[in-house]
Amino acid sequence: MKLGKKIDGYYNYTAKADDNESQFGITPEYKFFDDKLNEIFCGGLSKPNATNIILIYGASGVGKSLFSLNVIASAIREHKKFAHILLEDDPEESLIRLRKIIPQKEIDVAPHILISGDNISVQFTQEEALELINDLYENFNVDIIILDHIQFLFEATASGSQDNEWIRQRTFVQEINKIVKKYKKTIVLISHVKKGADMSLDSTTGSNSIPQVATKAIAIYRNEQKNLCLRQEKSRYTKPYFEEIPIKFVNFRLMYDDGIDEQKVINDEL
């Protein structure tokens, strides 16, 4: 590679560094309903004006999509425009759950775009899928895209060549990374895991480029005691937190599980 006449130095980035320093070490956007979870995740999920690729992964039926609906509820509360690419679940079923998390009237007035399997009736190319993601940021000005789930998008895209499937997926994910980096917005990728996986970063189905590009990777799983847990396997912008995080869904809201039976407490007080 030949260098051009213009060569960068760190001094070219002083102004941007000054602007971003107040957010150093925290991710204050897309907060959870639970203060303890916000404390663990250093504020929330995303850093403003930065590349945010959030990977949520786990086995089928463990609660990944419900996690993503909690992210959407956060976007609504924070007045962020979201795009929900819903390729597995039915939109009406997702709405039933979402309006238990946040009132229907708030959903109705929130700026958003829903793209479901009902909208995608034919197979499309990888390039068209990337154009869609770019278009949502550039022309529809969305702040966050929730893609549930990424394997369905891989399956829906037609390969224009006989390239190895892993190479095709790696290229696709790398291009997503470039798009998100260009607009400095957030994308949430929901991913399945391999059967019998240990929930490490290598557990995701498909190319290992998915966890590689993630700025934050969170596993959702049941531990040996069958309790529902999160584990943050990666975080680019915040201090590491590798301990098991017990969680529960209370009226579909994601909450820290402190081991207290709330109904029992209510009954005892009565």
Q: Which domains does the chain have, with CATH numbers?
A: 34-257 (3.40.50.300)
**Phi, psi angle pair for 160, to nearest 5°:** -80, -5
CB 40 within 8 A of CB 254: no
> By CB neighbour count within 10 A (0-12 exposed, 13-18 middle, 19+ buried), where does 114 fall?
middle
Q: Is the pTM of this model over 0.85?
A: yes
| Alpha carbons 143 and 186: distance in angstroms, whole number | 6
Banded pLDDT at 154 (limits 50, 70, 90): confident
Predicted local confidence at residue 24, as pLDDT: 82
Residue 189, pLDDT above cutoff 80: yes
Local confidence band at 21 (pLDDT 50, 70, 90 cut-offs): confident
User: What is the pLDDT at residue 261?
Assistant: 66
Q: What was the pLDDT predicted at 265?
A: 41
Asked if the model's pLDDT at residue 208 lies above 90, the reply is no
Nearest-angstrom CA–CA distance, 216 and 52: 8
